[in-house]
A and B are shown apart, each in its own frame.
Chain A
């Protein structure tokens, strides 16, 4: 276990290096000018001399490799630089926002796992039955629906037509404080949409896993011994049927991150997403590189956790495999 973790950690180093360098390279090749983005409307009346001075102050007049190297060496000492778009240290930007994104993603993920497992088990009980057909076709439909579209649909239905849930923001517009109750009511729609967009994969995997397990010898044996259907289903079939889901948990992390980006935009959720989009269009090198490194790390960690869980759950799978 320790060896697997260590090997993966070692592997993460070149990946992070390549990814962050890629960010700098792509940003440098993009047509956006970081100085124009920084200056905003004031840039439209600024003199060339003023703009040149800004370019030097922001350090974006250096060659691409030098900018990346400066960023990297500073980042290793814990200094992630200053975001040029948000006029704040990058660490502050991430600190202020990442908590809300984690709250959103974790809630959605939890709901997706719980609901997905429940629906998957129900569908697997009677393969080909009406419930199975309903759940499966629903899952395939949702699989094809982009989270952005689902979000707009949810706003239209719950905020505009029914008026039961707020359409966006973290708290009520007039409120100046952040209370758990307000955040909870504002969390329902974005987390719900994100959960629904993740749901199909869990449903389909659990249904397949449990369905296969129901046909396995141990389960047939358990049934033959006259154990209650409930015990067979939850105690035996679900347990081995869950194995593929564990892998899924890790592999869904990238999808969860991109899904969260879109959902946060639709619901004006003050998470890391808006900052990412802003950083990308404004060629905010330090912020963009830090956010990309963070997302990459989350994906690598997700995969590691999935493999570790799988190894724990199934002793037949070695950690060195």
Chain B
């Protein structure tokens, strides 16, 4: 009896395991796809989207592959029509934007695209019940209105010059997304759009696979199968690139270095608006002191940071606008001059104390600088900054923590922040510098307060005239020299390594966020693989 029981149970356990194994395996496929196919590309990326629904924020900056916006960007980040037939007509002193829609466009399920999908998309995002964390970006919108099947009119609350840049956000199909819970429905993981690619499968934490949309209005892509493998660890991504599992990947400077001169792989350095900055809170007696701010501004060696921390892949930053952008104000570059910085402090009455730390009226030139724990790049920047400051007689205590720890301290303590949005100077600068937004979430972290800057920010966003806007942004950049509430350190290049068989590729100017479709695959639908 005992023997049979044991044998029986053993057999049962085995049978159960095999049955479980078999059932878990029961998603058979044809085994298609594989490495090295001419019309396939596999790239390794570091971030995974939380959702693929544009209604929750996916693809809001354009370039989402599955979807199209009314407008899109070309290689130079200039706006061009996508689902709209032409660029919008702006009337009513910049408060009304009228779009004419492209005809004959269908979603990948075959249903036609029309103005009601546009209205649905914008109204859903603006709905209070929709959990879209970036809906602040559409604050200017008062209402959206369909004019027939192929016309859409946006009415704004106030004149907002950069509004057209916001209409790159992807359009969702009302006939699908409108029938489910917007926050958790199927559409968040199984999207249907009008874009050049269709989603085949999204295995979370693993990869996203796409196939070309044969009926794409812009022409069927030559790369038929496109895969984005989500590999969070930099070293693992490099390893799998070497092992031939990936055709391309984003890599940090130290790992990208070894591919220079590689026979089969090419390195691309995408220019960015991605800056690293030290906030100098107005509420702190030391960092709020204009002399201290100005001394730090000319007393930190930005060039050394670019060379040593970024391995040369980046450039010195003097404000949110990179030096090679048309919006940059020539002449606002600050030359590194530690002697001049020291003299400035001496003249202002900041005298070195016994331990070399400067003092004035009983206050010691000392403050805390926080960076996000685990972010090596920010840590390096923070330490370099502290070391440069120490030479001037300013003691910067570098500490790390999570945002939960850092956020309550932001009105008093300095933070090593990052940001950058290339589409329009307003997107960055308004939230970074506007005094009324001080301490509103992560907006204006330094509590910067400058009446001239406030006025220029308003002028710049209201005027539709390029020259007037330029003049306003010039004012802001000059004010930042006189009273720097932030020390801007670097703009960082994003590095990508891609197999040469895809030919010469291009990159766009990239924002702070690593979007899914950044990098040389921003226009994968236009790639012409070698025969």
> Do these two chains interact?
yes
* Interface residues, chain A, with chain B CB atoms under 8 Å away: 31-33, 36, 38-48, 50-51, 53-54, 57-58, 82-83, 85-89, 96, 99-100, 102-103, 106-107, 109-110, 113, 159-160, 163, 166-170, 172-183, 235, 239, 242, 246, 249, 268, 270, 274-275, 309, 312-315
Cα separation A58 to B34 with both chains bound (whole Å): 41
Pairs across A and B, CB under 8 Å, 24 listed: A32-B402, A36-B404, A39-B133, A40-B133, A45-B136, A50-B135, A85-B50, A89-B184, A166-B245, A167-B243, A170-B206, A176-B29, A176-B225, A177-B33, A177-B201, A179-B28, A179-B29, A179-B31, A270-B204, A309-B9, A313-B2, A313-B5, A313-B6, A315-B2
CB distance from B411 to the nearest CB of A (A): 14
Cα separation A172 to B29 with both chains bound (whole Å): 13
Question: How many B residues have CB within 8 A of the partner chain?
Answer: 79
* Interface residues, chain B, with chain A CB atoms under 8 Å away: 1-3, 5-6, 9, 13-14, 16-17, 20-21, 23-25, 27-35, 37, 40, 42, 50-51, 53, 56-57, 128-129, 131-137, 139, 181, 183-184, 188-189, 200-201, 203-207, 209, 211, 225, 227, 229, 231, 236, 239-240, 243, 245-246, 402-405, 419, 431, 437, 440-443, 512-513
Query: Which 4 A-B pairs have CB atoms at the shortest separation, nearest pair first?
Result: A177-B29, A39-B133, A42-B133, A103-B24
Q: Assuming A106-B17, A176-B32, A268-B231, is B236 touching A168 (CB within 8 A)?
A: yes
Q: Is A58's CB under 8 angstroms from B131's CB? A: yes
Q: Is B405's CB under 8 angstroms from A31's CB? A: yes
Q: Is B236's CB under 8 angstroms from A47's CB? A: no
What residues of chain B lie closer than 8 Å to A102, measured between beta carbons? 20, 24
Q: Is A177's CB under 8 angstroms from B32's CB? A: yes
CB distance from B236 to the nearest CB of A (A): 7
Q: Assuming A47-B136, A109-B17, is B23 touching A87 (CB within 8 A)?
A: no
B9's closest neighbor in chain A, by CB? A309
Q: Is A172's CB under 8 angstroms from B35's CB? A: yes
Tell me what chain A mostly uses at the interface: helix, strand, loop, or mixed: helix
What residues of chain B lie closer than 8 Å to A169, measured between beta carbons? 206-207, 229
Cα separation A113 to B30 with both chains bound (whole Å): 34
What residues of chain B lie closer than 8 Å to A42, measured between beta carbons? 57, 132-134
CB distance from A304 to the nearest CB of B (A): 14
Cα separation A141 to B274 with both chains bound (whole Å): 49
CB distance from A232 to the nearest CB of B (A): 14
Q: Is B206's CB under 8 angstroms from A174's CB? A: no
Cα separation A136 to B2 with both chains bound (whole Å): 29
CB distance from A95 to the nearest CB of B (A): 12
What residues of chain A lie closer than 8 Å to B128, measured between beta carbons? 53, 57
Residue in A176, A249, A312 whose CB lies within 8 Å of B201: A176
Q: Is B229's CB under 8 angstroms from A176's CB? A: no
List 17 additional contacts besides A38-B50, A88-B184, A173-B42; criterion CB under 8 Å. Answer: A38-B133, A39-B133, A42-B57, A43-B442, A46-B134, A58-B131, A87-B50, A87-B56, A87-B184, A109-B17, A175-B31, A177-B201, A178-B28, A178-B29, A183-B25, A275-B204, A315-B1
